[in-house]
Chains A and B, each alone.
Chain A
Amino acid sequence: MSPRKKERADRFADAPLDVPLLEVENISTGFKTPRGVVHAVDGVSFSLERGKTLGIVGESGCGKSVLSRSIMGLLPNNVVRGGSVKFQGHELGAADASEMRAYWGTQMSMVFQDPMTSLNPVMRIGKQITESLRYHLDISKDYANETALTLLQSVGIPEAERRLRDYPHQLSGGMRQRVMIAIALACGPKLLFADEPTTALDVTVQAQILDLLQAQQRERFMAMILVTHDLGVVAGRADDIAVMYAGKIVEKAPARTLFTQMRHPYTEALLKSIPKLNLPSHTRLESIPGRPPDLLNPPKGCKFAARCPYAQERCFQEEPPLEDHGSPGHEFACFYPVGTPEGDEAYARNRAAGVAAAADPTNAGETTPTPTTATVGETT
């Protein structure tokens, strides 16, 4: 083995089990633009063990995709980064692209959202798989082809031998996504990022893909970060769920707890906005009024306050910290949480006044329409 590979092998030997696989502490990512710095990720922390799945949920623009790329280090050069990312105890934060390349593919890899555009259209499928195999592992062409074949079979692609020689445009959307998964898993990474893996697919195929991801994760004892805007996707498949809003995590809890004992008003609103089968037809959909804040000049205080039915004056002045408030494993960032006495009071106060604190002109923040009734139309 060449010295370079030996050094890598040493570095990546299985770390002791008492260190979490991934430790993210207060990372922030901003994009430098001529109009200023866009704060896409603003102080996110969590940790992840091998074999566990973390679901990250949020609406468009909340920074969840940027978050996963920040952790992996797949960002362009005009970014401002802060915080620390520890993978198996090694600090990654300061690493540049050439150092991170040692991790990509072999230690952590990503499944992207759109399989149509994420596969090279002029390269055969087999080649796209064997490429990373042959680059990272010192194996022969034949062995790489065999491995690619097995990979394709394990992700459930029929007639895998033929498919090796096909081009992406000859496959259906679901199959392409399976190929992407195969490519991501080729070198046996310990951590898999699935960035909206089913958004571009038919509903019928979505469940298959998610099942596949889950099965592979169990087989390989991988950690997985599942990023999506769809709560249904993470419902049965994540161990923990983190809800993101405007670049921050606003609530993080084990899956069941999140759904049954949510504390953050945004989480509640998200859950409420899911239409339910048992409601009569023509029931108005509940949506969250207003728009996400401008990440160029974020407002003071809690970023959700302008759209929150529980918001009080304090929310516009101070930013609530992400704490577990006594229930371990369940963190949320709110002064007037759902289901607590303070929260209920706040809500009642707002209803009595007829408006949420948001409509009060003395409060700074985004101007939004008065959210007295749920309005149809504005989708997340």
Chain B
Amino acid sequence: MRAGLRRVIQLVIVVLCVSFFSFFLLQLVPGDPVTSIVGFSSPADHKAIAHELHLDQPLVTQYWHWLSGFVHGNLGQVYYGPTGRGKVSTLIGQSLPVSLQLMAYAMILTLLIAIPLGVFAAYRAGTIFDRIANATAFGSIALPDFALALVLSYWVGVKLRWVPSSGYTHPSDDLVKHFKTMVLPSTSLAVGQIAAYMRLLRSDMISTLQEDYILMAKSKGIPNRRVLWRHALRPSSLTTLTVAGLNIGALIGGAVVVEVIFGIPGMGQLLFTAIFERQFVEIQSIVALIAIGYVLVNFFIDLLYAFVDPRIRDARAAL
């Protein structure tokens, strides 16, 4: 349990550091932050807003205010001119589910395709299938998400008109149309991921298949398919799991651009608009939210590690 406690403490520290970084972004803005955000405003308004943002107080106090507000769900405000306001939390509340949908679809697609591909490529290592799969994966990794998004958007969306090339429909409005709008974005994100995971799984699996216990399983008379999936897959997934964290980071980055290209109103689109409108307070909250989410995902993957490999579970418990 001591190891578990230490991990949680580490988690909290990292979350705090990351949140501080997000908070600190505002300080990096050149010139006067209030003017940058709001534009022209009367001296009175200027002072009021500066006070609202606690800019007249020492840095640590500012951070404290920001953090406590954040924890209580007050994610700041967007400023339309000196008097217009809007709540960031509302905007995020609308965009976050959309982004989560996009990434979830991409991940599901990735796992459904990458795992069988990787297993089969390892099983048939050296054959034409394997070579083609490898070459395709190599090319796919070199193709940026946004490039594929643009290509798909043009050829499938505009030329072939199979699905809309941009836009978003809420699932509660029209489920079929919802999926149609999400197909291309999810695919754009998934292809790069599939290539990365497939290669890793394949190489891990090839070395697992050389292990003695695979020969042992075979000698029990168990069919190859069962040996592959029941005996070889689980030990081979460790390396894949290790890089899953990094890959999800790439997924998030890709999602931001893909959302903008396809006009999906998710966090990426929100960030894009915020940058354009110089809504730095909003940017702070969005970045903080994304970063903290990412930290939690990594933490969860770490836990998963022990679940997949019981040796690690025991080694950790012994610490």
Contacts and interface: CB of A to CB of B under 8 A. Distances in A.
Nearest to A123: B231
Interface stretch (A39-47, A106-114, A222-230, A247-255): A106-114
Interface residues of A, number: 31
A170 B314 contact: yes
Given A122-B309, A170-B314, A72 B213 contact: no
A122 to B, nearest CB: 5
A167 interface: yes
B221 A74 contact: no
Contact of B221 (A117, A136, A170): A136
B235 A121 contact: yes
Contacts of B216: 110, 112, 118-120, 180, 183
Contacts of A106: 221
A135 B221 contact: yes
Given A122-B310, A169-B314, A117 B211 contact: yes
Contacts of B211: 117
Contacts of B310: 121-122, 167, 169
A101 B213 contact: no
Contacts of B231: 120, 123
Given A105-B221, A110-B219, A117 B212 contact: yes
A348 interface: no
Contact of B219 (A105, A131, A136): A105
A183 B314 CA distance: 24
Interface in A115-168: 117-123, 131-132, 135-136, 167
Contacts of B223: 98, 101
A105 B220 contact: yes
A102 interface: yes
Contacts of B212: 112, 114, 117-118
Contacts of A105: 219-222
A245 interface: no
What bracket does the count of chain B residues touching chain A fall in? 20 to 34
A120 B219 contact: no
B234 interface: yes
Contacts of A335: none
A316 interface: no
Given A120-B235, A122-B235, A104 B213 contact: no
Nearest to B217: A120
A25 B81 CA distance: 95
Contacts of B230: 123, 131
B14 interface: no
B215 interface: yes
Contacts of A336: none
Contact of A135 (B219, B222, B224, B308): B222
A117 B212 CA distance: 6
A343 B216 CA distance: 45
A220 to B, nearest CB: 17
B218 interface: yes
A123 B221 CA distance: 17
Most A-side CB within 10 Å, residue of B211, B220, B314: B220
B6 interface: no
Contacts of A98: 223
A120 B230 CA distance: 10
A121 B226 CA distance: 17
Nearest to B215: A74
B311 interface: yes
Contacts of A123: 230-231, 234
A350 B196 CA distance: 67
A103 interface: yes
Contacts of B308: 122
Contacts of A120: 213, 216-217, 231, 235
Contacts of B221: 101-106, 132, 135-136, 187
Nearest to B214: A120
Nearest to B311: A169
A257 B215 CA distance: 36
Contacts of A72: 219
Contact of A121 (B213, B217, B219, B222): B213
B268 to A, nearest CB: 38
A167 B311 contact: yes
A118 to B, nearest CB: 4
Contact of B222 (A110, A117, A122, A132): A132
Interface in B299-319: 308-311, 314
B220 A109 contact: yes
Nearest to A114: B212
A109 B234 CA distance: 25
B246 to A, nearest CB: 23
30 contacts: A101-B221, A101-B222, A104-B219, A104-B220, A104-B221, A105-B220, A105-B221, A109-B219, A109-B220, A112-B212, A112-B215, A114-B212, A117-B211, A120-B216, A121-B213, A121-B309, A121-B310, A122-B234, A122-B235, A123-B231, A123-B234, A131-B217, A132-B221, A135-B221, A135-B222, A135-B226, A169-B310, A170-B314, A183-B220, A187-B221
Given A104-B218, A120-B217, 13 more contacts: A74-B218, A104-B219, A105-B221, A106-B221, A112-B212, A117-B212, A121-B310, A122-B234, A131-B217, A131-B220, A132-B222, A136-B221, A169-B311
Interface of B: 211-213, 215-224, 226, 230-231, 234-235, 308-311, 314
